[in-house]
Chains A and B, each alone.
Chain A
Amino acid sequence: MSLIIAAILVFAAAGLAALPLRRSPKNASLVGACGAVIGAVLGIGGACGILFSGAAEQIRLNWAVPGGSFYCEADAISAFFLLPVLGLVALAAVYGVGYLHGRERSLAGHWFFYNVLAASMALVIIARNGVLFISAWEVMSVASFFLVTIDDEHERVRRAGWTYLVATHLGTAFLFVMFVMLGNASGSMDFDKFSAPAGTAGILFVLALIGFGTKAGLVPLHVWLPEAHPAAPSHVSAVMSGVMIKTGIYGIVRMLVVLGAPAPWWGGVLVAMGIASGILGVMFALAQHDLKRLLAYHSVENIGIITMGLGLGVLGRATNSPAIAALGFAGALLHTINHAVFKGLLFLGAGSVQHAAHTLDIERLGGLMKRMPLTGLTFLIAAAAICGLPPLNGFASEFLVYMSSLSAVSGSHAGAAVGAIAALALIGGLAAACFTKAFGIVFLGEPRTESGAGAHDPSLSMRVPMVTLAALCVVIGATAPLIVSAMAPVLEPLCGTRAGVDAALIQTTISMAWVVIGGFILVAVAIALALYRRRLLRSREVGETGTWDCGYARPTARMQYSASSFAQPITDFFQSVLRTRKHINRPKGLFPAGASLKTHTDDTFTEGIWRPIFCGFGRMFARLHWLQAGSVHLYILYIAITLIVLLIWKLA
């Protein structure tokens, strides 16, 4: 605990220390990054201590603010969430030093808010007082807002920042109501005093789902993600998409613990929202050409998978079948960490691409594998992992969710289970499509424009974090059984029972061990085959030639399949949802001068729901401006009318 508090203090100190360094970006980066790393190391130390000892630690100090008390507790769940948060914060900070290197504009503010973000995320995870929690929560949002808008000279970035700020703030309003209801019912804002007043548990759950779901990015509250993540600098996107949105998941988990025994329909709602987010997220991802926008939509998808896991867990808890509950929650929590790892890595990779090729438009890239092999390799690993392919970490967590739903199939809520499985399968297939596109078009083939041609692997401080995360993808995949078997203390408060959890975990650990074995066989066979191929080819001549293009004499890079054309069959298939707009310039005449195809996919929910609402308010208010028409007579009339109305209202 003390270590975690120390970490938060270190973050704060580093942030303040970076603030005055407006003149020299270099020192600001140095101070800020060092602070982030040191703090993260401290915090991870503390978290690990708690996970190993299994004993929750807490401090409770008075805080001279109405309703507030400085009450923090680090239990297994908090520690479990702290690990990815702090880890990614540190790695992204190291990456950021290289990424921001050579900017002439002051970085003091950036590093200040970066460290504030780190501190506030940690505080959110350990806070156990309503006021403290919301304060940390809002500070987190504001800090990340400023991080997103660092390049505010671009209109796109400003709009993104606005969308994000508005979304997160309105979402928080629901949390206000939730905490106030809980606080008034229990007479204290401390979590341990909380108890849902009779009959309101459902309302509280819905409030939590909306409030935290907005941050997590559940459809249809996800609209800020695809705007904000591309706008932010890549290491910030990595932190936001990798871990900050997970605080939303944490909030839901924490509320499940606080609210106690859930009703079955909560699980149903969670699974349904999870399925919707997962499928829609990956669908929209498929239709994007901006690499980071694509990744942002994949965050929506993965949040969907996590939410499915949570939903199954809740269903299991509600129908007291610990197996379903344990596996569901385990899958959700493990996927939280996994997604942090590979999504962080993917964003860092995208950052390196942007750094090297100065564009993120997939259509303009290509052939980067030869020019930046390390980025390519790490990106490939992450891509395979996010598609949930064995033997990497993504499969481990999805496997848990599968297992949970498989054991639920024979239960009373089989519908949800089957839906989850089908959805997972479809998501897996579409994700594979999406990442073969993202990786294949960006890194393979030949450069489509000169922008990618001069690319090269980034500097050391950017390479180290990528390699670390890639290694983590493999390691977590290989050690998944151990990790899962160690998760019992985390799952106990969620499932309400220890014995059931242990039983379920032992069951699954065996399967996962087999999965790992399968993974090893895979690698072994692959290596064997490779060696065999080498032996075969050693004595023979191995030719080099151009790609066989079915007899066409002069293939050029521009003839390669493009991202749009790659995704076109699928996007056409889902056109009813995606509403992709095409600008086709068909070849005309016998000797067509040129032809082109542009596709653009807006977010159906932004365009269909949110924009109309906001515009509606705008128009309505604009129509009311005559109220302040400037005529003093009118104003005096207001006074008279008010007086008369009040007199009649209250006295007559």
Chain B
Amino acid sequence: MLLAIILTPFISGIAAFLIRATGARRALLVGGALVHFALVAAAWVVRPAPAVGGWLALDEAGLLFLSITTLLFTAAAVYAISFLKRSERGHSHSSLIIHHSSLNEEADDELFTNAPEAVLIGCLFFFLGTMSVVCASQHLGLLWVAVEATTLASAPLIYFHRHARSLEAAWKYLLICSIGIALALLGNFLIAVATLGTGGHEMPLHMNALIASAKLFSQPWLKAAFIFLLVGYGTKMGLAPLHTWLPDAHSESPSMVSALLSGALLNCAFLGILRARQILCAAGLGEFTNGLLIGLGLLSMAFAAVFILAQADYKRLLAYSSVEHMGILAIGVGVGGIGTFGALFHAVNHSLTKAMLFLVAGNILALYQTKSVTAVRGLSRRLPVTAALWLAGFFAITGAPPFGTFTSELTILRGAFAQGNMLVGIAYLALLGLIFVAMATVVLRMAQGTSEHNESAPEPWLSIVPPAVLGALVLMLGVYLPKALADVLNGAARLIGGM
């Protein structure tokens, strides 16, 4: 069954390249997504048995992130249909678009030929597959291979719009992430070195084995290993100051890809760090990791605050907000206690909310043909539903009740205070406030007011339903945390040394 979860995306990906008919390929996209979703949903009922000699197994953490991934992918797949239809239309009426966007510097946005649909859909599936492997892998080496593979699978997606900026974004993404991942590889080796003393030559980098005998490992090497893994996977996760690729990639890729990058990929990298922390906790070095995580976390929030304030590009805004939230996750894990639980819960909330926001941003982009904040006005008059979702998403992402983000952020704060990290808690809260102000300034300016023409434009339901569903889920998590999810969260938190 686990194998099925892994293989479905790869097979459908290959199929996507073979299929000629556009309609069939699109059907395949949604179908494959649904199958994967169904399989993962089934995994909640009966936890799948480990596969490939225990290399692949779903523990709570893996299941959690896998579920987020597949959920977002399904939403993105449905959204992608409307996106593809739209971009077709975009080319047929490109003249009209020029006239529309002749005002702003981004006029050339839609005038590039996009990559062939097969590439998009195929790579989407490979992306999903590699991420599934990341979530399921119980072997550090395999984990590394999979994470690097996600980079390679997603690079073409970022370069979907074939124009200069997206090319630049893809290049930076590829280069920076590859370097980061390379460092993570060194981290893996260092862990292996740490095992040497224990006659562990024969010991593969298998989680269970590592955790079992972690106590014996040489601690300096473990520490070094963690630092390398943190920097390596942290680059991918988007912790400042390693986040540099993130705003470019997110702003230049198609919206549903941005949604997946921000909502799913970053989590997978986070999972890499969590695995490392698992080992160090087992070795009794949990304390050592906390300082690092908190430090990078706060730094990330500060960086995000700096660039969110007066941000001129709303997709970059969302990207920096992802940096902020990755920082929050790091802090949550760093402070430990219920903070860990809060962090994992926040990972769920953030992924849903951010994916929703990126999809909505896609709708805005489709109408206004520009990512420039100053050019988007009177959203609530032009696209009422989208505007409502946009504002709801804004309040959700800034942690206002009754959304799930509020409870998770509050839980992290409680964790910080409970563990005696008063100053961390206060700094965290201050940065949250700062970012709220900065984001409010930008987002409200877009939603309110009047633009030159105020008649409301059509909003295809395919482009509305996915974000709406995601938003509804966040709302639901804010007022009701299902038992099953709570159990998984608790289990995962226990795994990585929280509680």
Contact = CB atoms under 8 A, between A and B. Distances in A.
Asked if chains A and B are in direct contact (CB within 8 A), the reply is yes
Interface of A: 22, 64-68, 131, 134-136, 138-139, 142, 149, 152-153, 155, 158, 161-162, 165-166, 169-170, 173, 176-177, 180-181, 183-184, 614, 617-618, 621-622, 624-625, 627-628, 632, 634-636, 638-639, 641-643, 646-647, 650-651
A444 to B, nearest CB: 38
B395 A142 contact: yes
The 9 closest A-B pairs by CB, nearest first: A135-B401, A635-B244, A152-B448, A638-B241, A621-B306, A138-B401, A64-B481, A66-B411, A621-B309
A184 B303 contact: no
A176 B410 contact: yes
Contacts of A152: 380, 448-449
B96 interface: no
A180 B241 contact: no
Given A152-B448, A153-B450, A643 B227 contact: yes
B433 A170 contact: yes
Given A65-B480, A624-B306, A639 B414 contact: no
B242 A650 contact: no
Contacts of B291: 650
B429 interface: yes
B370 interface: no
A628 B244 contact: yes
Interface stretch (B35-43, B60-68, B169-177, B353-361): B169-177
A651 B220 contact: yes
Q: Give the dominant DSSP class at A's interface.
A: helix
Contacts of B448: 149, 152, 158, 161
B227 A650 contact: yes
B305 A135 contact: no
Nearest to B231: A643
B151 interface: no
Contact of A66 (B247, B288, B341, B441): B341
B257 interface: no
B179 interface: yes
B235 interface: yes
Interface string B366-407: 000000000000001000100000000001000011100011
Nearest to B341: A66
B306 A158 contact: no
B333 to A, nearest CB: 16
A632 B245 CA distance: 9
B247 A650 contact: no
Interface string B206-244: 000000000000001001100110110001000001101
A147 B85 CA distance: 37
A158 B309 CA distance: 18
A98 B100 CA distance: 41
Contacts of B413: 176-177, 180
28 contacts: A64-B480, A64-B486, A65-B407, A66-B345, A66-B411, A138-B406, A142-B395, A142-B400, A153-B450, A158-B444, A158-B449, A162-B440, A162-B441, A165-B440, A169-B400, A169-B440, A170-B437, A173-B432, A176-B410, A176-B413, A180-B414, A183-B414, A621-B307, A621-B309, A622-B310, A638-B241, A639-B176, A639-B242
B425 interface: yes
Given A66-B338, A66-B342, A639-B235, A646 B227 contact: yes
Contacts, number: 156
Nearest to B400: A138
Nearest to A165: B440
B254 interface: no
A67 B183 contact: no
Given A134-B410, A162-B441, A183-B414, 20 more contacts: A66-B345, A66-B411, A66-B481, A142-B395, A152-B380, A158-B444, A166-B440, A170-B437, A173-B430, A173-B433, A621-B309, A632-B175, A635-B172, A638-B242, A639-B231, A639-B242, A641-B241, A646-B292, A651-B223, A651-B227
B482 A64 contact: yes
Contacts of A173: 429-430, 432-433
Contacts of A135: 401-402, 406, 478
B408 to A, nearest CB: 8
B224 A627 contact: no
A22 B410 CA distance: 35
Nearest to B307: A628
A155 B377 CA distance: 12
Contacts of B441: 162
A624 B307 CA distance: 9
A497 B381 CA distance: 57
A173 B437 CA distance: 12
B55 interface: no
Contacts of A638: 241-242, 244
A618 B310 contact: yes
Interface string B435-469: 01100110011001110000000000000000000
B479 interface: yes
Contacts of A65: 407, 478-481
Interface of B: 171-172, 175-176, 179-180, 183, 220, 223-224, 227-228, 230-231, 235, 241-242, 244-245, 247, 288, 291-292, 303, 305-307, 309-310, 338, 341-342, 345, 380, 384, 395, 400-402, 406-408, 410-411, 413-414, 417-418, 425-426, 429-430, 432-434, 436-437, 440-441, 444-445, 448-450, 478-483, 486
A65 B231 CA distance: 34
Nearest to A638: B241
B426 A177 contact: yes
A627 B306 contact: yes
A641 B245 CA distance: 16
Contacts of B224: 647, 651
A65 B482 CA distance: 9
B434 A617 contact: yes
Contacts of A642: 231, 241-242
A617 B438 CA distance: 10
A134 B411 CA distance: 13
A180 B478 contact: no
A619 B480 CA distance: 42
A347 B138 CA distance: 66
A628 B247 contact: yes
The listed residue with most B CB atoms (<10 A of its CB), out of A139, A149, A628, is: A628
A184 B413 CA distance: 11
Contacts of A169: 400, 433, 436-437, 440
Given A64-B486, A162-B444, A639-B183, A131 B481 contact: no
A67 to B, nearest CB: 6
B310 A621 contact: yes
Nearest to A620: B306
Given A64-B482, A162-B444, A636 B307 contact: no
A627 B302 CA distance: 12
A127 B26 CA distance: 50
B171 A632 contact: yes
Contacts of B395: 142
Contacts of B478: 65, 135
Contacts of B175: 632, 636
A40 to B, nearest CB: 23
A647 B288 CA distance: 12
Nearest to A134: B401
B250 to A, nearest CB: 13
A643 B418 contact: no
A176 to B, nearest CB: 6
Nearest to B486: A64
Contacts of A68: 407
B230 A646 contact: yes
Contact of B410 (A131, A142, A622, A634): A131
A646 B226 CA distance: 10
B292 A650 contact: yes
B440 A643 contact: no
Given A161-B444, A170-B433, A180-B417, A625 B307 contact: yes
A614 B433 CA distance: 12
A614 B406 CA distance: 25
Nearest to A171: B433
